[in-house]
Amino acid sequence: MGREPGTVRIEDVARAAGVSIMSVSRALRGVEGVSEATRARITRLAAEMGYAPSRLAGSLARATSNLVCISVPTLFDAVFAEIISGMRVTLTHAGLETIIETSDYSRAREAAWIERMIKWSPAALVLSGVDHAPKARARLESAGIPVLEIWDVTPRPIDLCVGIDHRAAGAAMGRHLAGLGYRRPAYIGIRPGRDPRAEKRAAGLAEAFAEHGVALAQQRVDGPPSFETGHIGARRALARSPRPDVLYFLNDHLAFGGLMACEAAGLSVPGDIGVAGFNGLNINDVLPRRLTTSETPREQMGKTAARLLVAAIRGVRPEPCLAMPVALAPGATTRAILRA
Amino acid sequence: MGREPGTVRIEDVARAAGVSIMSVSRALRGVEGVSEATRARITRLAAEMGYAPSRLAGSLARATSNLVCISVPTLFDAVFAEIISGMRVTLTHAGLETIIETSDYSRAREAAWIERMIKWSPAALVLSGVDHAPKARARLESAGIPVLEIWDVTPRPIDLCVGIDHRAAGAAMGRHLAGLGYRRPAYIGIRPGRDPRAEKRAAGLAEAFAEHGVALAQQRVDGPPSFETGHIGARRALARSPRPDVLYFLNDHLAFGGLMACEAAGLSVPGDIGVAGFNGLNINDVLPRRLTTSETPREQMGKTAARLLVAAIRGVRPEPCLAMPVALAPGATTRAILRA
DNA sequence: AAAAAGAACGTTAGCGCTAACGTAGAGAGG
DNA sequence: CCTCTCTACGTTAGCGCTAACGTTCTTTTT
């Protein structure tokens, strides 16, 4: 309850300007109901006095804050940093503040965080993916807060979703690789259940190869989705018999680690084995051989998502689900043409 | 002002429990003044009713929130993600919520953000580096909010600082490289003024070489601190005459890009040219030749910083400035021994 | 010129919570 | 038996702001 002694309150500005606090409130919020002359005087005075309107009080009075709470699995992967970066421009422009959480691929952590965030009366919530704890989904649907799901798509989003079709992306890569004549594919990923999007891509890949009567081998590594994990996964996959002829990694991080492992094992890429990743990270721009990958529009996805979200916050309900394009980017780590 | 219809208020819980709202408040906050039986009953009821105490109202009444606002230059670089990750564990455990901002290496953006954050009555602010806009510093000193500066050190922090001595780290690398016989060093970085810490490292390196009467060449690239920027910078540096015999990059990202550029140019590393970076990123774990670099304790720094910050929030003033160790990590991208 | 309309303010009543203080009743001490 | 103290509550008065509704006073309309 202690009122900070140095704090300038709206009342102080009102007194100094010789008006009521409502005029100050209206003037500073840019709301109608004050003459331009008065508004200018108040604005100047407020700046001089170093008045900073309390968001706590304002949000409490309006029963909603300008916070947009964003949950991503991790920030170690630049992918989510890029999506967030894309969103921020639009959100900041709309006067919204962002809170970021990293769930470390845990639904329970995401659910607990949602519970905490609701207490802030946020303007909106942004979740990564479309697979959430059932409790969390129920809570959100009853809370009436706009929810945006990013990075994945579903026909039944909570409110809005903007993402990519991971299964289709995996299938596209699968068809591409199968078309190049690969017949002993292996997927290198982390423990199942951690990253649902990666599982969908793997499933898509498996589907595509299944059309050729080929089964997908899987090599799981218990660890974070890192360079090192790809390195380990590749080493293990290479030790298998028969040796895979192409490795599809969870993402480009793992793929790069895997590429290093293949070369360290004395294998020629793509001569002896193919390597493919996912995302189109910028490490690709400096590699002597570009990684075969699928390019995802992270920044653009963020921008689009934020635009839709701002509209939703303002009461517009646009199309509920938007799928962004994924571009297959054949590189030099897989064959260029069908091998006879 | 609209009271959301579905919202459960503390009053609703109080009525249901047949007690006053203060008992509910006390019970749920774990404060003394309620019998254990009553507390248990209230806690159970609150959970059943789905009551979520409003942080807005609570923070307003207390005149301080549980928000810790953290500003970092970028999240594209995993370095800051790791520092944040280290801090979060401790902060979350202490019941603090984190807000993250990326300033994109702009003091003006940092200053504007500080201004916005003050309106939330945060429990503390965390800034990256010790070089801030003068206005921002003044504002913070008068606001009475605990401020933690991370990633760099200074004898005169705003409140607390936990970081590393970048000049010393640069000097240590300089002495190491000079000791290996390198005499035509070049620093590859981004536009001066963007990253003050990198400038300090470059200055340290220059100092060390100056002791041998050697001047440091500099190659600046106008761009983000990325793989690509290192690639471009290295290409340009290699075109110079005389050609440098060792390249010290802003960080490991640039260094890796530069390493690729050197190899693409047909140079042998470390035979023809040495390459050194900074940070000790985990990409190093999968490279065929480890990059010569300085390892920084990011996660540990975050943990330590958060511990100090929590203490400061609770009113304890520990040592104001803490320097963490930086470990020189000679790799295979520089000579192993002095060349005759 | 009287009535209606509109601009530019001010007043009132909260938003949902907590600090500080008040109070009733039980138990202890003399 | 009467204080005294302590526990377990309740009551009061805000925290700093905004929505909704008044109140002037000027301008427009008929």
Pick the more confident residue, B137 or B2.
B137
Can the peptide bond before residue A270 be classed as cis, meaning omega within 30 degrees of 0?
yes
- Checking each nucleotide's C1' against the CA of B61, the nearest proves to be D15
pLDDT higher than threshold 80 for residue A294: yes
A40 phi, psi to nearest 5 deg: -60, -45
The angle subtended at Cα B115 by Cα B113 and Cα B116, nearest 5°, is: 65
- Checking each nucleotide's C1' against the CA of B60, the nearest proves to be D15
pLDDT recorded at residue A8: 93
Mean pLDDT (whole number) for A59-71: 97
State the smallest CA–CA distance between residue B179 and chain A in angstroms. 30
Mean pLDDT (whole number) for B289-313: 97
pLDDT recorded at residue A2: 52
Name the pLDDT band for A317 (thresholds 50, 70, 90). Answer: confident
What distances in angstroms separate CA A111 from CA A70, A102, A161, one per listed residue? 13, 12, 18
pLDDT recorded at residue A254: 98
pTM above 0.85, yes or no: yes
Give pLDDT tens digits for A257-274. Answer: 999 999 999 999 999 999
pLDDT higher than threshold 60 for residue A194: yes
The reply to whether A217 Cβ lies less than 7 angstroms from strand D is no
Share of chain B above pLDDT 70, in %: 98
Mean pLDDT of chain A: 95
pLDDT recorded at residue B317: 81
Give B249's DSSP letter.
E
Residue A146's SS3 state is coil
Give pLDDT tens digits for B178-215. Answer: 999 999 999 999 999 999 999 999 999 999 999 999 99
Question: Across the interface, do A121 and B56 touch by the CB < 8 Å criterion?
Answer: yes
Please count the other Cβ atoms lying within 10 Å of the Cβ belonging to residue A49. Answer: 14
B171 phi, psi to nearest 5 deg: -65, -40
Question: Across the interface, do A285 and B116 touch by the CB < 8 Å criterion?
Answer: no
The reply to whether A35 Cβ lies less than 7 angstroms from strand C is yes
Nucleotides of C under 7 A from a protein CB: 7-20
Question: Across the interface, do B97 and A76 touch by the CB < 8 Å criterion?
Answer: no
The reply to whether B282 Cβ lies less than 7 angstroms from strand C is no
The reply to whether B2 Cβ lies less than 7 angstroms from strand D is yes
Give B233's DSSP letter.
H
Residue pairs spanning A and B at CB distance below 8 A: 133
Share of chain A above pLDDT 90, in %: 93
pLDDT recorded at residue B340: 53
Name the pLDDT band for B337 (thresholds 50, 70, 90). Answer: confident
CA distance B23 to B21: 5
B176 phi, psi to nearest 5 deg: -60, -50
Mean pLDDT (whole number) for A98-127: 97
CA distance A276 to A202: 12
Q: Quick check: A93 and A302 in contact, CB under 8 A? A: no
In DSSP terms, A163 is beta-bridged to: A323
pLDDT recorded at residue B318: 73
Give pLDDT tens digits for A205-251. Answer: 999 999 999 999 999 999 999 999 999 999 999 999 999 999 999 99
DSSP structure string for B88-140: HHHHHHTT-EEEEEE-TT-HHHHHHHHHHHHTT--SEEEEESS---HHHHHHH
pLDDT higher than threshold 70 for residue B2: no
pLDDT recorded at residue B7: 84
User: What letter represents residue A49's amino acid?
Assistant: M
Q: Quick check: B164 and B201 in contact, CB under 8 A? A: no
Give pLDDT tens digits for A146-187. Answer: 999 999 999 999 999 999 999 999 999 999 999 999 999 999
pLDDT recorded at residue A337: 78
Q: Please, what is the angle between helix A36-49 and helix A10-17, to 10°?
A: 120
CA distance A118 to A122: 7
The reply to whether B4 Cβ lies less than 7 angstroms from strand D is no
pLDDT recorded at residue B18: 95
pLDDT recorded at residue B75: 95
User: What letter represents residue B336's amino acid?
Assistant: A
Give pLDDT tens digits for A135-147. Answer: 999 999 888 899 9
pLDDT higher than threshold 90 for residue A12: yes
pLDDT recorded at residue A339: 62
B/e letters for B220-258, b = 16+ CB within 10 Å, e = fewer, are bbeebbbbbbbbbbbbebbeeeeebbbbbbbbbbbbbbb
Residue A35 token pair: 């003459």
Mean pLDDT (whole number) for B118-145: 95
Give pLDDT tens digits for B4-53. Answer: 667 899 999 999 999 999 999 999 999 999 999 999 999 999 999 999 99
pLDDT higher than threshold 90 for residue A102: yes
Note the residue count of chain A. Answer: 340
Q: Which residues of A touch B55 (CB under 8 A)?
A: 119-120
Please count the other Cβ atoms lying within 10 Å of the Cβ belonging to residue A216. Answer: 20
CA distance A244 to A275: 10
Name the pLDDT band for B319 (thresholds 50, 70, 90). Answer: confident
HEC string of B44-74 equals HHHHHHCCCCCHHHHHHHHCCCCEEEEEECC
